Structures are given as structure tokens and as C-alpha cells.
Structure 1
């Protein structure tokens, strides 16, 4: 016997809808226009505040995920694939609202001829259904169009952004990274895992952001580091010299980079380190520095140096041939 769910009082339906996982809700919304309307009404009244929409447009992966507010748990709710990938022999593809669609066990796939149009469509569909904005964006160098598109379609900025390195090499890496650095805005995380040429330089300001991760940061100079406005900064494969770090510490002691709490630099080649410059008034200390980085680990540094800012704020510094750490202490020390 069929159950007349559309005739069920909305109060009862809302309780049922509240039990649905995000992927289940998206899949259910394709049952009928009336059922989709009921779901939209539910989420407009009870916006799932703990849900964040994340868009991925990376090579052959184009999808929308829903994550919790801490981005600790993510689940794909919809994906778009080129129509050439349809396997008609499986006979599992149906046409809904003019789009060829395939229901997987956990999410649905929609087939498009135009992949950019497909990415935009599934993002608009999911965010409209749940009455939420896109907060996370992960792209490759061929999908920088998504930055402007997201900025124009919503007032709320991204919280997490990532530029991912491609599996195949193409020639426009410098232009893509430069565009991202100048135009991508994210409040929590800005991560760039992309290669650029040895000649690439970035002279603008970056931030404000909580966490800045540059996995291939050989292009970062002392001047560009001073222009990074972040609480946590990680630079991998760095070519900064110890003399550059001395200059940065002078900048910090004078009040520069005031929001910085944590800096980690990993050198591409072995750095030649003996001692810091005397004018920095850095002294040895037996203190142990700790910092809980955003990705969940506790960084611990020993055999530290102590350096004090002009306003009394101290930082613990550690440097060897491979790494440089700076952990800012929040308590002021009287002179």
C-alpha cells in the first residue's frame, strides 16, 4: 500500500526531514517537484547551521559536498560527469527535468555536455535546496573562473580555499597562482599546493586569513612574507635564507605582522645557520614551545631562543638546517 506522504502535515514531515542526511535529502528532492518544494520549505525554516557547502572543480572531479562546521566530516551529495562517460549498457541512467541522471548508493550523478555549466548547476541546486552558501572551494589551475563566480553569487565569503596541483603539467601555472593570490579570499584557510616557475614573484598583500599554507613556497621572499596577514603560516620548500629570517624578525619586533601566532618554514635545501643577528637581542632559553596547529597536531619545539617585541610580547624561535619555527607567546613581559 502506498503511503500518501505529500498529504502528511508539514509539522510531521519536518521532523522526518530532520532525520535525513544531506545526500539523502538531495536524492529525495528528485522524486518530484512537490517533494522538492516541501524540502526547500523545511530548510528555509530550519536552516542546517552546522552544514557547509563545499565545491570541488578539479580535473575530472566536479562535485558538491556537505561538511559540518569544523570540516571534520564531509560527504558528497552530488557530482557532475561528462555525457561521454555514460554507460548505456548499465541501463541505470534516467532523465529528470531534461538531465540524464544516475543514482549511486550514496549520491547522485548528473551528466552534462558543458562541464562548467554542470558545476554551476549542481552548486546552485544544492545551496538553494538547503538555503546555505558555498564555504569551501577546491580547484585546479583550469578552474579559476569559480573564484569570481562564487564571489558574485553570494555575499558571504569562503572559509576554506585550496588550489590543487594537477596530475599533468600545463604551462599557465604562474598566471593561475597569481590570479588566485590576488582574488581568492578565505577567512579560515587559504592553501596552495601548486608549482610555479623559479622566476615567479608575488608583490601584493595576502589575507587576512587564519591559516595560510604554501606547500611549494620557493617563490616566497622576505618582502612577500612581511605582507602575509595570517595567524598561522606554513611555507614548504622555502628558499629563504637565515638573513631573510633575521630581517623578518626585525619586522616582527617593530610591530609588523601583528596577527601572527605561528610561523613554520621548511627549507628546500639545507640552510646555513649559526646564530641570529646580535641587534635582535635573542637569548637562549630552556623553555619548551608548543602550538596546536589547525590540522589537529601539537607542534613542540625545544632548544629555543626567546625574542621580545617592542610592546613586550615574546616569541619562541627554533632554527636548524631544515626548519624554522616562530611561536608567539601571548603574555606581555615587562622590561
Structure 2
């Protein structure tokens, strides 16, 4: 029996108006109804609506977070995406995503959408879904959080722009070979990495241009590796730097190294000013308190400053076995900073 309302028979202008009235769940369902519907949606959709995708692995579910255009004053909607080996309960539809036939079911709860797929190889299921949605809305990945099959996930996401890459090795899978591969091939603006303490050896220098690098259990991080980076922000935890190493890094910055660096935070035990700040001119200023708006966590400084050879000023602080440096001016004008900060807070400990 023919449906009384044939949406695809309307003029394209009318179809575009209807699509703009649909929520994200309805838009995805519409695009999956046929190849023509998918093609029309990509052509006619509201280009100002830019979902931000968050793919999370090995937690209660995978996430796709949607951050809409602020000028339209639309609320944030989360679409959770999960791939499971066990066939789920409830209504399951077999749909086509790209060249794959996918068992898919969608439901909603508390204004959040859940997109689930049944797949023997979990990583492939995740890839099929996020690849389809990235192509559907013409977007990259906002956060890719990986906790297993790290090498495979990075290989599968190659070519897709990634804002924040969060790598946690909770199962102890990453070996020295994998670590060097990740540091060489991972492409993202912000990298958060946490691996169990092991005797890793870095092979060569991996000159990725991360805006932000945050490392937990960072015993494998060398001072030479840090000086080879081109980052805006570097945070190193659970790797105790020697005073001489800190001095070497600061002198590297003073002499023009790491020119994009705005923030550096590292653990140092038994801090000795005469060694850590050897041959460095430290000035006390009249300004007593200054707040640096970091990409991940704001920092408070007092009145100690150092200068780069070109005159650029940075505040320094040693407190609670942590040494911090912030280069002024700070980065509070970073594009979409509020979204980045909120996402980073969820990925790293305060």
C-alpha cells in the first residue's frame, strides 16, 4: 500500500524545509531509508548544523556528542554509539551504511540518542558507524577515546580529522613497537595518553604538531623528546624530572626552542632552585597573582618571571612537587575553547 505522504516526491526546497524540522535522530533515520534519501540529505541539510562526534571505547557505551551552532541557540544533544558482540534485545533493523549491511537499533532517553550495532569485531562496528555519520554531516571526530586495539583504531581512523585523541592502555596492551607507531602516526590537535609504567624506549624523534600533549605514567618520556615537540601545551605526570633536566628544557625555550609553547607542567622531586634555574635570570614583578587560561586546566601564578631571548615573558612556579611555566599572553581566545576545555576535563584528572 502506498504511503499517503511521499516526502521524496516534494520539490527539493520543500524537502530542505522538512529536514530542518527534524532532530538528529530523525535525520539519521531519514538518511538510512534509501540511497536517494542519503544523497538528498547530504545536499539539502542545514550546513550550519555541525555535530561534534565523540567515539568512546570500552566504557559503558560509546558516545557521539553533538555541539550545535551557538547562534541558533539549540541545546546540546548526545548520540551514544556502541558496537556489541551479543545480539541486543528489542527491535533491530538491517540498514545499509556505505557498503555494509548493519544490524542497527536506535532509541532515546532523557533527550539523548543511542545508536547500537551488533558486530563480531567491535572496532569494525564502531568504524562503520562513525565513518557513516562523519560522511553524512561532513565532520571529523571531536574526541576519539581508545582503550584497546590502539594500533588498529588509529589505522582505521587515518584520514579523518580528530580534535582530541585519548589513549588509555587499561589492559596493558601497548608495547614499545605500538607506542612508537602511535607517536609517529597519530594525528590530532590534542593528545591525551596514559600507559602503564614500562621500560619503553623511544626510537628517534616523533615530530607531531600537537597543540596539546598530556601524558600520565610518563616514565618513557625523555627530555630530548619534549624538546623535539612543537606544542602549545605540555603536561607530564608521574615522571620525576631532575633539576638539571628542567634547566636544560628552560634554556632550550629561552634560546628559541619550542616557539609555540605557551604552557608546560611537569613533576619534579627535590626541587633545587640553584640547579633548576642555573644561568636563568628570574625577575620578581609587582603583579602578585595572574591566571593562565590553559587548554585543559587554568593555572595561577604569582610574581616570578623569566624572559626568552626575544623578550617574550613567561611566569614560573614550583608548588607541591610540580613545576609550571606559562607564556604570556595566554590562550583564552582559542577557537571553540569552551568546548575543548569541557571535553578535556572529562578525559584528564583535575
TM-score (norm 2): 0.77
The whole-number CA distance in structure 2 between the counterparts of 1:145 and 1:213 is 22
**Matched-pair contact (CA < 8 Å) for 2:305–2:314:** yes
Question: What secondary structure, in the 3-state scheme, does the structure 1 residue paired with 2:241 have?
Answer: coil
The Cα of 1:261 is off from its aligned counterpart by 0.9
The Cα of 1:58 is off from its aligned counterpart by 4.0
The Cα of 1:190 is off from its aligned counterpart by 1.3
Task: Summarize the Cα distance change of 1:286–1:322 in structure 2 as closer, same or farther, 3 Å threshold.
Answer: farther
Alignment of 1:162-311 (within 5 A): 162-166=166-170, 169-187=171-189, 189-201=190-202, 203-267=204-268, 270-275=269-274, 276-287=276-287, 288-295=289-296, 297-302=297-302, 304-311=303-310
Question: What secondary structure, in the 3-state scheme, does the structure 2 residue paired with 1:47 have?
Answer: coil
**Matched-pair contact (CA < 8 Å) for 2:63–2:78:** no
**Matched-pair contact (CA < 8 Å) for 2:237–2:267:** yes
Which residue of 136, 158, 165 maps to 2:162? 158
The Cα of 1:236 is off from its aligned counterpart by 1.4
The Cα of 1:245 is off from its aligned counterpart by 0.9
Which residue of 102, 107, 117 maps to 1:110? 117
**Matched-pair contact (CA < 8 Å) for 1:141–1:173:** no
**Matched-pair contact (CA < 8 Å) for 1:99–1:110:** yes
Q: What is the match of residue 30 of structure 1? A: 32
What do residues 9-46 of structure 1 show as CA deviations (whole Å, max 9, x unaligned)?
32122122123333332133334454434323323xx4
What do residues 209-250 of structure 1 show as CA deviations (whole Å, max 9, x unaligned)?
221111222322222221121111111112112221111111
Is the aligned partner of 1:11 residue 2:18? no
The Cα of 1:309 is off from its aligned counterpart by 1.4
- Structure number with the higher strand fraction is 1
**Matched-pair contact (CA < 8 Å) for 1:305–1:318:** yes
Question: What secondary structure, in the 3-state scheme, does the structure 2 residue paired with 1:170 have?
Answer: coil
Q: What is the match of residue 313 of structure 2? A: 314
Q: CA RMSD in A?
A: 3.0
The Cα of 1:300 is off from its aligned counterpart by 0.9
Question: What secondary structure, in the 3-state scheme, does the structure 2 residue paired with 1:306 have?
Answer: strand
The Cα of 1:135 is off from its aligned counterpart by 4.9
**Matched-pair contact (CA < 8 Å) for 1:271–1:321:** no
Gaps of 5+ in 2: 331-350
The whole-number CA distance in structure 1 between the counterparts of 2:69 and 2:180 is 29
Question: What secondary structure, in the 3-state scheme, does the structure 1 residue paired with 2:256 have?
Answer: coil
Task: Summarize the Cα distance change of 1:173–1:21 in structure 2 as closer, same or farther, 3 Å threshold.
Answer: farther
The whole-number CA distance in structure 1 between the counterparts of 2:326 and 2:187 is 25
TM-score (norm 1): 0.80
